[in-house]
Structure 1
Amino acid sequence: MSMSLMKGAGLESVNKDKFAYLCDLTVNNLMSAVASEPGGNSLIYATLNPTSYVEVVEGGYKLYGRKQFGTNFEASRYSMVMFHIKDSPDATESVFLLIDTKMPGVNVEDTWDTLGLRATRSNSVFFDGLFIPEEQTLLRGSDFFQSLLQTSSAEFYHTFSSVYLGILTAMLDWAQQYLLSRVPRGYTQPMAYHPSS
């Protein structure tokens, strides 16, 4: 999903070298993306803009704020995280940064204890002055969510459907093999047998 997020946000067309670098990183590293924040509501578009922010400093950014639902953040090697640019006159101006999840100063709070989804480890992630160098910038611009929601839904959401399609296909394969191999006591045909077949 993370790479489709970057493609949908426009990284492939804006900076082909940076997109290629990210593609290379995904070969040997698990990636995550953390965008959700407390108080956001997908029904009210303006609430999706990040309240976590960066201060632009010499050589990079200092990060502040809280992200929630950091699915697989702890398991991933890198995460793509979106922040608002502090003091920007444009309320939608944001920056996507590539963050090494194992670096000192990355704080994860164990807030995720949802029955049935515990394995996703969607904990909260806190930033309190963590410095990220300028070269870790993936994208900087305005109105990323507008682009993601309107122009890249086909690329963004197929990542979910492909997972569920794979699960369903595996379930059907298993059921077929089970019914072909299981012979009830007292019968010579497997459970999958039907006189018309």
Structure 2
Amino acid sequence: MTFLTDDLLARVHERAPEVDATNTFPDADLAELRDAGYLAAFVPTEFGGGGLTLEEVCAEQTRLAKASPATALGINMHQIIVGVGRHLVAREVTAGERILREAASGEVFGFAISEPGNDLVLFGSITDARPDGSGGYTFHGQKVFTSLAPVWTRLLTFGADRTDPDAVRNVFAVLTRDAGGFEIADDWDTLGMRGTQSNSTKLVGAPAPADRVLQVVDPGPSLEPIVFGIFAHFEALLAATYLGLGQRAIEVAAEHVKKRRSVKNDDVYANDPDIRWRLAGAAIRMNSAAAEVTLIARELDEGREYGMLWLPKLSAAKNAAAEASLHAVDQSIRACGGSSYSNSHELSRLHRDVLAGLFQPSDQESLHGAWANVVLGPVAR
């Protein structure tokens, strides 16, 4: 089932340059995506949603990213949290049911995990989660890269309960916008992915009653449902989004070189063997990355058992897509020549957007460290 029609995607694509130029949130895109049922597309049918599998929603995210990478990356965060809800329910963590029912009813989920200077990311928090005495918590700390900041109605976040310094626990919960306890900075003035409006969010006692606490777990990498659910859906859906960006870059370049003419050769650049080699090489690499992302999503849908090897495998898929897309944009710009340096050229925007993939977890250092441990074992001390 396809939720994103060609006409809808064409309108999203038409609005993308203005969203980027004005550094604003794509409200019109969100309205159309909501009307199309896309915010509930990943929700199982028994909870009132469209019932797409992860493989299917990844394919939709790739199509959306071809139209507008920033819109896709923002909506990606909502879809990740729906995926978390699915994973929790499948592992009999009933707290996930509320995520699914609220997504089906039109709530918009934001994602507040990253913190300034914290390279533990999902595995340890510098935010405080303070027990409220009734089974819930209040959250106190700074979050960064909070996508959908202007529009979320629900916010998945986490912090550390340090009540016992010898037994720190990570608390994951869903906040509601109308409960307050947060401040959103107007600080999203970035090189690319501007439409995500991923403003910093300061949690100043944001409350999560007991029924909005998802899980309380030990810090560190694990297969706990909340930890694995976030990690798996973040990596897979992020990878799918970057695939669309790289694929679109090649499309733009192919259209361009069919019209760009060489004075020396008296022919279009599409017939130049060097240009053909460049774009073919980019397409080959994108093809391989797409296969890896599709496989990882399918295996997650099937519930394959890889144990802790899942984490480096997921990181590898995200990196394959992000790096292949970075390469594709680079080769596309080289093929198109100096005109792509203009801000009016779509490749200029794609070039800025694709760089965000370098910073989003898992980065290359983390990826190589994880795979070194797989291949060689821990560093001998």
Q: TM-score, normalised by structure 1?
A: 0.70
With over 3 angstroms needed to count, the CA separation of the structure-2 counterparts of 1:103 and 1:4, relative to structure 1, is closer
Q: 1:99 deviation in Å?
A: 0.7
**Cα gap change, 1:156 to 1:128, in 2 (>3 Å):** closer
- Quote the Cα distance in structure 1 between the aligned partners of 2:180 and 2:209: 14
Deviation at 1:115, TM superposition (A): 2.4
Unaligned runs of 5+ in 2: 1-76, 262-268, 272-381
Aligned-partner residue type, residue 222 of structure 2: S
One-letter identity of the residue aligned with 2:98: Y
Q: Is the alpha carbon distance of 1:70 and 1:18 closer, same or farther for their aligned partners in structure 2, counting shifts above 3 Å?
A: same
Does the Cα contact within 8 Å between 1:68 and 1:123 map onto a contact in 2? yes
Q: Is 1:70–2:146 an aligned residue pair?
A: yes
For the pair 1:36 / 2:114, whether they are aligned, the reply is: yes
TM superposition outliers: structure 1 runs of 4+ over 6 Å: 174-180
2: CA distance between counterparts of 1:117 and 1:170?
Answer: 15
The one-letter amino acid paired with 1:147 is S
Q: What does residue 124 of structure 1 align with?
A: 200
Identity %: 23
The structure with higher relative contact order (CA 8 Å, sep 6+) is 1
**Number of residue pairs matched by the alignment:** 190
Distance 1:90 1:6, change over 3 A: farther
User: Is the Cα contact below 8 Å between 2:127 and 2:158 reproduced in 1?
Assistant: no
Q: Which has the higher strand share?
A: 1
Mapping of residues 181-196 of structure 1, within 5 Å: none
Contact 1:29 1:78 in 2 (8 A): yes
Separation in 1, partners of 2:136, 2:249: 48
Range that drifts further, 24-33 or 163-172:
163-172
How much has 1:179 moved relative to structure 2? 8.2
CA contact (8 A) 2:109 2:152 kept: yes
Quote the Cα distance in structure 2 between the aligned partners of 1:92 and 1:61. 14
| 1:57 partnered with 2:155 | no
Measure how far apart 1:6 and its partner are: 3.0
> RMSD of aligned C-alpha atoms?
4.0
Asked if 1:162 corresponds to 2:240, the answer is: yes
1:98 aligns with 2:174: yes
Tell me the amino acid that sits aligned with residue 139 of structure 2: L
Task: Indicate yes or no: 2:236 matched with 1:142.
Answer: no
Output the amino acid matched with 1:114.
T
| Offset of residue 57 of structure 1 | 2.1
Task: Work out which of the residue numbers 99, 103, 117 in structure 2 matches 1:26.
Answer: 103
User: Aligned pair 1:114/2:190, yes or no?
Assistant: yes
Q: Does 1:82 align with 2:158?
A: yes
